[in-house]
Amino acid sequence: MIRDTIKNHADFALGDNDPVAKSPYFLVRAKLAKYPDDARYGLIVTKKTFKHAVDRNRAKRLLRDWIAFNENLLQDRWDYVFVARRDILNADRLSGRVAMKKALGFLRKQVIKED
């Protein structure tokens, strides 16, 4: 089951203590889900980082693919916000999926420590 996306600008706001995982291609932050039965994810791909719409669209497409591939690692009670980095344009599908798996695994361990 694919998650719904965060659409409201205010829902992208994160606290300073929310867990974060970094990758060369993106960073991902997790926060408690606003709707625990319907956890979501959001993508941030800015014009400042990606000047051309083609690049922004490619970054979003890659992130969505990697998220769908690693859907089983997303926890139900957490909303995730993914921020694309410039190097995502140089990533291939396999290395991105591996990076996503590592980042989500790191977040899972970080969240378990906090609980």
Dump pLDDT digits (tens) for 80-96.
999 999 999 999 999 99
Whether pTM exceeds 0.85: yes
What integer is the mean pLDDT of 34-54? 90
Domains of the chain: 4-106 (3.30.230.10)
More confident residue, 29 or 15: 29
Neighbours of 14 (CB within 10 A): 15
